[in-house]
């Protein structure tokens, strides 16, 4: 089964489809990258915890956290990455990307 | 060499989606990948010549620099440009008003990964 990397762009208050991550993964390896307002998951204890349960490996763009005043403030379990690391995840570590 | 295709469906002045596409492309080039960008819907505005944003990054200029490397191809949907009154000849030099059926299908066929940036 192909591994899947989910890309989220919307804030936790705008996007309510976290269950799709588990349903679309079907038990395969999965990960999530948080871009733009989705970075707020990384500082929201309730919604962040739900995302970590659904996404397993969750990465957040450093630039987007910093732009929102939360540089280095991602909660435990969220890995802060740069664009080069995002490209590695997309091109080498996962088979497929899905934008939600 | 592996190729990444980015399908961009958001306009230049709506949020930072176009900027994310540019930064991903830039990082992919640094790592030796080729990149194709296909603009669909509002994403066609990426290649409009003469953009002069006061506060947002000038993504048109940034995309032009990436295309000039010879490792990036940028094409947008002609049905989408026509619907918005964006005419042929108004695109940034080096980028193309093309089609979903000819260009996006070729990009997908030739790519190893596809990333959709959309709302």
Q: Are A8 and A41 in contact (CB under 8 A)?
A: yes
Q: Looking at beta carbons, which residues of chain B come within 8 Å of A9?
A: 17, 20, 117, 119
pLDDT attached to residue B1: 87
What's the pLDDT band for B118 if we cut at 50, 70, 90? very high
Number of domains present in the structure of chain A:
1
Residue A88 forms contact with B (CB below 8 Å): yes
pLDDT exceeds cutoff 90 at A1: no
Model confidence over B17-59: pLDDT tens digits? 999 999 999 999 999 999 999 999 999 999 999 999 998 899 9
ipTM of the prediction: 0.94
- Whether the model clears a pTM of 0.90, i.e. scores above it, the answer is yes
How close A53 gets to chain B, by Cα (Å)? Answer: 24
Domains of chain B: 3-117 (3.40.1260.10)
pLDDT attached to residue B86: 97
In the predicted model, what is the mean pLDDT of chain A?
96
Query: Per the structure block, which two tokens stand in for A11?
Result: 């804030």
CB contact under 8 A, A87 and B31: yes
pLDDT attached to residue B119: 83
Q: What is the CATH number of the domain that holds A84?
A: 3.40.1260.10
Query: For residue A59, how many C-alpha atoms fall within 13 Å in the half-sphere facing its CB?
Result: 20
pLDDT exceeds cutoff 90 at A86: yes
For B27, the closest of A9, A35, A86 (CB atoms) is A86
pLDDT exceeds cutoff 90 at A21: yes
CA pair distance B5, B38, nearest whole angstrom: 7
Q: Looking at beta carbons, which residues of chain B come within 8 Å of A11?
A: none
Q: Are B34 and B72 in contact (CB under 8 A)?
A: yes
Residue A14 forms contact with B (CB below 8 Å): no
Model confidence over B61-104: pLDDT tens digits? 999 999 999 999 999 999 999 999 999 999 999 999 999 999 99
Query: Per the structure block, which two tokens stand in for A24?
Result: 């679309």
Q: What are phi and psi of A99, to 5 degrees?
A: -95, 125
Region A32-55: mean pLDDT is 96
pLDDT exceeds cutoff 90 at A55: yes
Range of the domain at A22: 4-99
């Amino acid at each position: 089964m192909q591994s899947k990397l989910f890309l989220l762009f919307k804030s936790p208050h705008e996007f309510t489809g976290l269950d799709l991550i588990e349903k679309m993964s079907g038990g395969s390896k999965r990960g999530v990258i948080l871009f733009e307002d989705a970075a707020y998951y990384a500082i929201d204890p309730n919604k962040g915890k739900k995302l970590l349960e659904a996404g397993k490996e969750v990465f957040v763009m450093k630039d987007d956290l910093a732009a929102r005043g939360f540089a280095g403030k991602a909660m435990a379990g969220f890995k802060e990455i740069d664009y080069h690391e995002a490209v590695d995840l997309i091109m080498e570590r996962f088979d497929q990307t899905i934008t939600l | 060499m592996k190729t990444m295709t980015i399908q961009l469906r958001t306009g230049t002045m709506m949020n930072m989606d176009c900027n994310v596409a540019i930064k991903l492309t830039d990082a992919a080039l640094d790592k030796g990948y080729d990149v194709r960008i296909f603009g669909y819907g509002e994403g066609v505005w990426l290649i409009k010549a003469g953009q002069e944003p006061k506060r947002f990054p000038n993504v048109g200029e940034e995309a032009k620099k990436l295309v000039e490397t010879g490792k990036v191809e940028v094409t947008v949907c002609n049905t989408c440009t026509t619907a918005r009154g964006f005419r042929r000849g108004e695109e940034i030099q080096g980028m193309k008003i093309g089609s979903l059926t000819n260009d996006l299908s070729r990009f997908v066929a030739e790519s190893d990964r596809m990333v959709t940036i959309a709302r």
